Amino acid sequence: MGKFPLPEFLTGWLEQQVDNGRAVNVDAYVAQLVAEDRIRHDRLTLRRKAIAEARASGISMEAPESLLTRLMAGLPRPGREKLREAIAEGRASGSSYVSIDGILARALLPRQSRAA
């Protein structure tokens, strides 16, 4: 690729990095920086792809606690009470908030069938 001009303050900084032992020479240091930048770019690309796939999947990226709070706010009083009880039962049984399906199932099941 060849040499390329850099402002004097950058060439001085590069030479200082070589003097401090960060690389054997300026070319090696620049190559190291470019390689690190490429790795960061590749990771960012993969992360963006994973986020896009997650959003496209229809699965909520909302935090479970936030989702339950929002659901509770939209329910009439009896529904809120059932959901609160289901959350309390989930906590008592050691269920995590990740199991929202379980919590909602508890809240929606009639009282007598939950005892079974």
How many domains would you assign to the chain? 2
Q: Is the pLDDT of residue 23 over 50?
A: yes
pLDDT score recorded for residue 28: 93
For the range 78-81, what are the long-range contacts, defined as Cβ-Cβ under 8 Å and sequence gap of 24 or more?
79/107
Q: Which domain holds residue 79?
A: 64-115
Does residue 99 sit in the same domain as residue 74? yes
Does residue 13 sit in the same domain as residue 52? yes
Does residue 13 sit in the same domain as residue 42? yes
Q: Looking at the domain assignment, is residue 97 inside a domain?
A: yes
Q: Looking at the domain assignment, is residue 3 inside a domain?
A: no
Confidence of residue 113 (pLDDT cuts 50, 70, 90): very low
Q: How far apart are CA 29 and CA 6, in angstroms?
A: 14
36-72: b (≥16 Cβ within 10 Å) or e: eeeeeeeeeeeeeeeeeeeeeeeeeeeeeeeebeebb
Tell me which residue of 38, 30, 39 sits closest to 3, measured CA to CA: 30
Q: Is the pLDDT of residue 12 over 60?
A: yes
Does residue 84 sit in the same domain as residue 101? yes
